[in-house]
Amino acid sequence: MRDAMTQPAGKVIAGNWKMHHGPAATLDFFRTFQLQESPGHTSVILFPPAVSFAAARQGIGKSRGVSLGVQNIHWEPKGAFTGELSAEMAAEAGASFALVGHSERRHGFGETDAETRLKVEAALRAGLAPILCVGETLEERTGGQMEAVVIRQLDAVLSVAGGTLQRSGREGAGPALLIAYEPVWAIGTGRTATPEDAAEAHALIRARLAVALGNSVARSTKVLYGGSVKPENAAELLASQDVDGLLVGGASLDPVSFAQIVAAAG
């Protein structure tokens, strides 16, 4: 296992590029972003497509405060899994974080709770900090299922990864799990959760973390909000109770708007 990781400092602003920005567009992004970017105490994480990783590392250069992550991992360290990449390889290529259970993986590629659990374990084993994405669909929300869905998705991971996380929380060092609450109805739809919606779900997540991992780990675990975050709504979402950062999709593709969101975190 690589060196143990602790929770990132300050507010966390993460940009999930999804299947956008090949190597040339990645270099272009950093030409502008470096000029704008001043993260201060904010932790900035970008999730480029894996083929753009080398370009992203080159683009980041020596600028401090920007880390990289991968959008998905397989749970095995290596093997005959065409098209997949392992947590160990991602770490070797310079990743510090891995998204796990993004709704596009769950709903577009049939990823199950059992698979998210394996992926979180694999990330921790390789020294990557997993960002576990949870969130309900519109149908689940209107059917009064928000709490049950979020708790099911969390518990699938906490029941197994709990021991490792509790230990590292007690010792103040060790692999860190972050959570992103991303209501599916707010992703890429332009429809953002209100600060009250976000605060309600984040409080639920924090309470569940406390039951599974104890109060001190729960307090220090970063819980991000994601879903149609833009420069115009970033500050009010960040001001909501229990929102420790943002996971930004579309608005992270443009270096100017992403820098504005970073600036909103202070």
Contact set with ligand PGA (CB under 6 A)? 16, 182, 187-188, 226-229, 247-251
Residue 123 near residue 130, CB atoms below 8 Å: yes
CB 181, min distance to ligand PGA, A: 11
Least CB distance to ligand PGA at residue 81 (A): 24
Catalytic residues: 102, 182
Residue placing its CB nearer to ligand PGA in the complex, 182 or 200? 182
Q: Which residue lies nearer to ligand PGA by CB, 226 or 231?
A: 226
**Contact criterion met (CB below 8 Å) for 125 and 1:** yes
> In whole angstroms, how close is the CB of 83 to ligand PGA at the nearest point?
21
By residue count, the chain amounts to 266
Least distance to ligand PGA, CB of residue 76, Å: 25
Which lies closer to ligand PGA via its Cβ, residue 88 or residue 197?
197
| Residue sitting closest to ligand PGA (CB) | 249
Residue 20 or 57 having the CB closest to ligand PGA: 20
